Structure formats: C-alpha cells, structure tokens
Chains A and B, each alone.
Chain A
C-alpha cells in the first residue's frame, strides 16, 4: 500500500438564506449597537490614490426579477494592480425595493497579464454555493487576459464587461439564468 494522499474534504456550502443581513451587515438590517460599523462599507480609504469609479447593477433571476435580498462581496487590486491585505474588499447589499447595488471604488490596475477586473462573490436565498464572477471594464485592453480568452462561445465575454454609462460610472448586471446568463467561475 502506498502512503495516503487524503485531504480533508471542504465543509459543504449552504445557502446564505434571506437573513444574511443579520450576520454580515447588522446595522443595515436595523440591528444597531453590536458592531460599530458593518464590515466592508468601502474598499479603499478616502484618500487612496487612483481613479474613482462607480459600478452599479442588479442580479436578475430566471423570471427577470431583480433579487432584492442579494449580498455581494468585491475583491480587487489597487490602482497599481497590487493586492493589499487591508484594502480592496467591500460588501454590497441590494436595495430592498429596487434590487440595485452599488460599489464606489478605485479603478483597479492590470495584474500581470490580467486586464483590470474586480472579483465578485454573490450569495442569497436560493443560491446554494456562493457564485464567483468578475467585472471587467469597457474600453480596457483585454486581448491578453487569460480568463476572458478562455470563454466559449466568445459572445459570452460580454457578460463580464461593465458598460460605461457616464464617465467613471459603469453598469454591470448579473443574470443567473437565461439567454444572457453571466459567466460564473470555478477557480
């Protein structure tokens, strides 16, 4: 018998459910006084260098309805393409009425051959395992990006490209199902 190669199996995922706000953004959920602030309110300090941008979007289900209970997290490099441990992460919750979320951040720089991008992680009731995707930006050079170049069919690349609606303002909608289903990642 050779030696064993056993790894510990990962703990199974379970849905974040409809009450994820209680644990992750309690002040937003109206539970004040336990944490001074909800974590991840802003990915960068106010005086951080870089170009300020806004990414706005909604997460749509298979019926075309925007999820009004979804929570997203973002993780990104700074303007120079550097991942720094105490910045670059944020939490966004959809508006309970409109289902729209917004990220106010700094435009990330390219990371080696990877085009500028922001990683997004999406959890909600009905989502059994958090969904990973990426926001890329209209107008950037993306020819060498190793992730985008793997997408087949090529027309689905568009699901990862945020559209600039006004200078510095990007729109990024996520479709869980249907003709426009967003490319989700297993990385």
Chain B
C-alpha cells in the first residue's frame, strides 16, 4: 500500500551551504525549497529484483578478479529501517570505497597510494525480509583531499540506499568507531548535530566478527517514515 511520507526533519542533515567544505559553496542552492505533502511521485519508487545481483556482488574482497584484495578483512552489516522501526525489505543498497591504502579506482584519483589489482571498490546487495544486509570488504584507508591544505578523510564507506519510495532516496557515508580523523573531517562536520554524526559511526561488533577471519562493524540505516493511519481522503494521484 502506498502511504504518505512523513515530512523530512532537516535538523538531521547537513545544510546545503557549509563553507568548511569548500565544494558546497558554489553548489548549494540558496533559496528556500518548495515544501508540500508527498504525492504519488515521491511515495512510489523503483523495485529491484534479486535477479539483478551476481553471487559475489556483496563480497568486495573477491568480486573484482576472484583473487583476494589486500587489507584488513571486515564484515559490514546492519538493518535498514524506517522511522517507525519497521524493517525495509527488498531494498537495494550499493556501496563504494577506497582500497586499504586509501586509493579509489577512479580516473580522478591520483593519490600516491597504489591501486590494488584485486580490488574494484564497489558492492551491492538487497535487504532480506528483516531489512538486514551484509558486506564483506577490506577496511578502507584514510586519504588526503584538497580542501584546506591538510584535510584527510577518515576511513569511510559510501552508501547509496533505496527505500520503497523515491522520496526516501539517500546517499551517506559510514565511519569506523575510534577513528581520530572523524572529528577533524570537514565533510563529517557539515552535519551540525553531534548526535546525528554519531549515527554514522559504526561500532566494532565482536559478536559478529568471524574468528581467524574478519572483524565486524554494525551500521543500521534509517530512512524517512510513512504516515501509519489508514484514513486516506485525497484525490487520485496526489
């Protein structure tokens, strides 16, 4: 059933204009957004069948060449929920990251650290009926980036997440508990609320670590919720 989306709480998100992150200065809209209740356009969204996935899509350690990538092996797992804590099942999650040395396989990345011939850097999965997802990867390295003269990105994994509604679409980044670069990062610090930043930091999860194999980090993701009441009184299409 298609349900109206709950209005987005912008206090959870970075504002558009964040001069500490210089790229935002000329790329941030300055006028107020047009607010209105969700319509069918935002309440519906694409569906991805499991048939799009290959068997190793969520295993970044081996999915590029079949040979093992270099680095600390880590499981990244968690649940995809909506604001009402309902699991979001059947949702596509895509991730991308630098290799263990902090280098991306991308023509624009010229960092000194070498490419790993066995690491591509992307993975994807579809959440199960409990909203759970899981990736096996290597811990990405920190890397320097041009902003002020000596800015470094903390270890992070980029996440692209679909819900059931196009209005729930989200891209974010996951950080690793204990990384001293998190507090210094201008991109992290675009988020004004420290409690919101904490929700991007995945704790070490020894209960899910695999002995003699891989550490684990747990990262739950919450998308916008929908209104739960049954009363629906509106013209078709709105």
Q: What are 25 sample pairs from A and B whose C-beta atoms fall under 8 A apart?
A: A8-B83, A9-B12, A9-B83, A11-B172, A12-B199, A15-B21, A19-B158, A21-B106, A35-B124, A62-B27, A63-B26, A111-B237, A119-B42, A128-B14, A128-B21, A129-B16, A130-B171, A134-B41, A147-B36, A176-B29, A177-B30, A184-B34, A186-B34, A187-B39, A187-B42
Distance in angstroms between the alpha carbons of A86 and B12 in the assembled complex: 31
User: Is B34 a contact partner of A11 (Cβ separation < 8 A)?
Assistant: no
CB neighbours (8 Å) of A12 from chain B are 12-14, 172, 191, 196-197, 199-200
Name B38's contact: one of A33, A130, A187 (CB within 8 Å): A187
* A23-B95, A126-B26 known, 4 other contacts, Cβ within 8 Å: A127-B28, A176-B27, A176-B29, A186-B7
Distance from A13 Cβ to chain B, minimum over Cβ atoms (Å): 5
Give the complex CA separation of A76 and B7 in angstroms: 21
Residue B45 is within 8 A (CB to CB) of chain A in the complex:
yes
Interface of B is mostly: loop
* Given A8-B85, A113-B235, A128-B190, residue A13 in contact with residue B96 (CB < 8 A): no
Residues in B whose Cβ lies below 8 Å from that of A114: 39-41, 237-238
User: Does A112 have its Cβ within 8 Å of any Cβ on chain B?
Assistant: yes
- Give the interface segment out of B68-76, B205-213, B216-224: B216-224
**Chain A residues proximal to chain B, CB less than 8 Å:** 7-24, 26, 29-31, 33-36, 39-40, 61-63, 65, 67, 69, 73, 75-77, 81, 83, 85-86, 88-89, 110-114, 117, 119, 121, 123-132, 134, 146-147, 150-151, 176-177, 181-187
Contacts of A36 in B (CB 8 A): 54
Tell whether, in the assembled complex, residue A7 and residue B96 are in contact, meaning their CB atoms are under 8 Å apart: no
Supposing A20-B171, A121-B169 touch, asked if A183 and B238 sit within 8 A by C-beta, the answer is no
Knowing A15-B21, A24-B160, the reply to whether A34 touches B38 (Cβ < 8 A) is no
Most chain A beta carbons < 10 A, residue from B94, B108, B166, B222:
B166
Whether A22 contacts B104 in the complex (CB less than 8 A), given A7-B225, A86-B49, A176-B28, comes out as: yes
**Which residue of chain B lies nearest to A29 when distances are taken between CB atoms in the complex?**
B106
